[in-house]
């Protein structure tokens, strides 16, 4: 009998704790305020023709659609290097996106192709991605965070490296403040022209291209005009690059030219087109980085391209171009860095981190940034 009473009392105690002390259900989260783009306090960086293109998230002006080769135009639909930035004390942040198609590359997963990365005060917090059902008209709503303490933060959203996207709206707390982001160390962007390595292949996500890492390290704006397999230095691309007012130009193209002879045809004329428009702007010439096949011995084609870039650069420097410098790609990613490659050619996150770290000091000096030798 005593045993039965004890069991009954225990049951009553359990029920009392389970029901009598139950906490009230949390109040539903307030509806977000959705800010459509463009918005005067949402700064868009890395798309120099965004306004002229009437809000299209693409990397080349619409006027070049029938001018550049079709593969170049298709690659321009991927907004690699584009960022959306602002400051806010919001405790919640969401985004609405539309993708034209699902990701489908062999050597990059969905995060690397389609991801929109969130960095808060320079620290990575998450990624919104497309899925296998992505198509025009299908809208994705992704919540990066909610219910966080209300304090002002620097927000940066890095757009996809290898898949087109439309950023439809940004969702914030209804009463959140919204301010322009902090200024960059230099008003004008650093403009990169080059190959798939420039575009971001094969970073695991958009915030891990070497330009994105450099931008965070040095607080620099940048424009990414890397075109996978198609950074060949055509005259129309030279003119497009030269249209941009830059703090520095970085020429990182060579490998997409099928032969040394084809590179020789375009390299010096490309530099001439840019230099004629920007006589005093620094230009860095990067020779090809290391490729895994070179572990077996010298690669005649790559070595020839490196030599040609050195020759062109040295000739121009000797002729008085004091604002031009040569950067050895193998100093950025060399024979000891094979672990920094994905497929023997393209850097992974480790490779891009090393490239950024090794280029940062050089770029900092060229731009006379605080904390670097002048």
- Distance (Å, whole) CA 142 – CA 333: 36
* Cβ neighbour number for residue 360 with a 10 Å cutoff: 18
Q: Which one is the CATH code of 33-179: 3.40.50.150, 2.170.190.11, 2.60.120.260, 1.20.1440.230?
A: 2.60.120.260
Angle at 18 between CA 17 and CA 24, to 5 degrees: 105
What's the pLDDT tens digit per position in 206-258? 999 999 999 999 999 999 999 999 999 999 999 999 999 999 999 999 999 99
- Cα–Cα dist 337/347, whole Å: 10
> Under CATH, which number does the domain 190-365 receive?
3.40.50.1110
Lowest mean pLDDT segment, chosen from 8-22, 174-188, 257-271: 8-22
What pLDDT shows up at residue 29? 52
For residue 45, how many C-alpha atoms fall within 13 Å in the half-sphere facing its CB? 29
- Contacting residues for 94 by C-beta, under 8 A, at least 6 apart: 32, 141, 142, 143, 144, 146, 170, 171
Higher pLDDT, 6 or 195: 195
Tens-digit pLDDT profile for residues 119-172: 999 999 999 999 999 999 999 999 999 999 999 999 999 999 999 999 999 999
What sign does the dihedral 272-274-279-280 (CA atoms) show? negative
Q: Kindly state the average pLDDT of the residues 316-343.
A: 97
Average pLDDT, the chain: 92
> pLDDT, tens digit, for every residue of 9-52?
444 444 344 434 444 444 445 699 999 999 999 999 999 999 99
Q: What is the pLDDT of residues 346-360, one digit of tens each?
A: 999 999 999 999 999
- CATH code 2.60.120.260 region(s) in the chain: 33-179
Considering only CA atoms, which of 182, 132, 177 is closest in space to residue 156? 182
- pLDDT for residue 7 is more than 60: no
- The 10 Å Cβ neighbour count of residue 37 is 16
**Cβ contact 168:37 at 8 Å:** yes
Q: Which segments of the chain belong to CATH 3.40.50.1110?
A: 190-365
């Amino acid at each position: 009998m005593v045993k039965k009473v004890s069991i009954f009392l225990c049951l009553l105690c359990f029920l009392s704790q389970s029901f009598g002390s139950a906490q009230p259900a949390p109040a539903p989260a307030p509806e977000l305020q959705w800010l459509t783009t463009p918005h005067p306090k949402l700064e868009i960086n890395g798309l120099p023709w965004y306004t002229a293109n009437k809000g299209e998230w693409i990397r080349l002006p619409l006027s070049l659609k029938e001018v550049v080769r079709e593969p170049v135009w298709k690659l321009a639909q991927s907004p690699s290097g584009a960022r959306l930035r602002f400051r806010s004390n919001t405790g919640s942040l969401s985004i609405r996106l539309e993708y034209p198609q699902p990701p489908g590359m062999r050597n990059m997963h969905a995060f690397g192709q389609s991801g929109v990365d969130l960095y808060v005060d320079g620290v990575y917090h998450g990624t919104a991605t497309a899925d296998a059902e992505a198509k025009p008209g299908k809208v994705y709503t992704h919540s990066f965070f909610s219910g966080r303490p209300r304090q002002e933060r620097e927000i940066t959203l890095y757009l996809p490296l290898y898949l087109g996207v439309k950023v439809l709206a940004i969702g914030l707390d209804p009463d959140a403040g919204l301010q322009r982001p902090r200024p960059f160390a230099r008003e004008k962007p650093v403009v990169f022209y080059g190959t798939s390595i420039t575009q971001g292949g094969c970073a695991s996500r958009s915030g891990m291209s070497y330009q994105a890492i450099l931008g965070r390290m040095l607080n620099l704006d940048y424009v990414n005009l890397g075109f996978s397999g198609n950074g060949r230095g055509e005259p129309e691309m030279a003119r497009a690059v030269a249209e941009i007012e830059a703090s520095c130009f970085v020429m990182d193209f060579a490998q997409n030219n099928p032969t040394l002879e084809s590179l020789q045809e375009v390299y010096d004329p490309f530099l001439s087109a840019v230099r004629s428009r920007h006589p005093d702007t620094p230009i860095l010439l990067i020779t090809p980085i290391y490729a895994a096949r070179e572990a077996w011995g010298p690669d005649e084609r790559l070595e020839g391209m490196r030599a040609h870039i050195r020759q062109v650069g040295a000739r121009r420097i000797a002729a008085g171009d004091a604002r031009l410098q040569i950067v050895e790609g193998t100093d950025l990613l060399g024979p000891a860095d094979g672990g920094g490659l994905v497929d023997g050619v393209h850097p992974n996150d480790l490779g891009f981190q090393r490239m950024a770290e090794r280029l940062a000091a050089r770029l900092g000096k060229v731009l006379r940034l605080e904390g670097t030798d002048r």
